[in-house]
Amino acid sequence: MTQRGYIAVEGPIGVGKTSLARLLARELDGKAILEDAEANPFLKDFYKDRRKYAFQTQLFFLLSRYQQQKDLNQLDLFQETVVSDYLFAKDRIFAYLNLDEKELILYEKVYKLLDVNLTKPDLVIFLQADPAVLLERIRRRDCDYEKEIDPGYLQDLVEAYNRFFFYYDEAPLLVVDTSAIDFVNREEDFKTLLKEIRTMDGGVRHFIPREGAG
């Protein structure tokens, strides 16, 4: 892809979305749009009781993500690089995993009203990792409310992400298995990943680096 444009980084909890978005924004001299999950007042309760707090948590995320994303319409993406640590369309992954049938009917009405107004990415980077690797990364970053995460829920989330991106076709897609690399602490791993990103020219590409690649 060209250096300018809109890049969205995606993947399940603990995979390194925000870290990569920050690194790419700095490397490409761009602007980072980062989701502030801790601003969601329902999230801590959600991890303790998913069924009770799912709808409030989901609706708050949907509206706050929309508020951030609609500002992209004001930017000249031919002149500026923007890197986001989430893809707006992924909101549905969590909705279909956590909401009941009646809640989904209402959710879909709101989602469809908002989605038509948003800019689509020029590239989506989908980061994958084994659930055991994700759990270890979550434990290392020691976020209080994430300590409540159920390993079974994380497994379901990983599978839901994989299904979603198997069918995703709204933008070029780079799928990266991060289980064996550390692009935050090993510069050679980041450079190898950056090369893949810069040579993306459309379609779907799968990148499975070896441990310590580069």
Mean pLDDT of 7-25: 95
pTM: 0.91
pLDDT tens digits along 139-153:
888 777 777 788 999
Q: Which CATH superfamily is domain 5-12+37-207 in?
A: P-loop containing nucleotide triphosphate hydrolases (3.40.50.300)
pLDDT-wise least confident of 3-17, 68-82, 188-202:
68-82
**E strand or H helix at 62:** helix 50-70
Q: Which residues contact 5 (CB under 8 A, 6 or more apart)?
A: 77, 78, 81, 82, 121, 122, 123
What are the structural domain ranges in the chain? 5-12+37-207
Would you please indicate which residues are annotated as catalytic (active-site) residues? 85
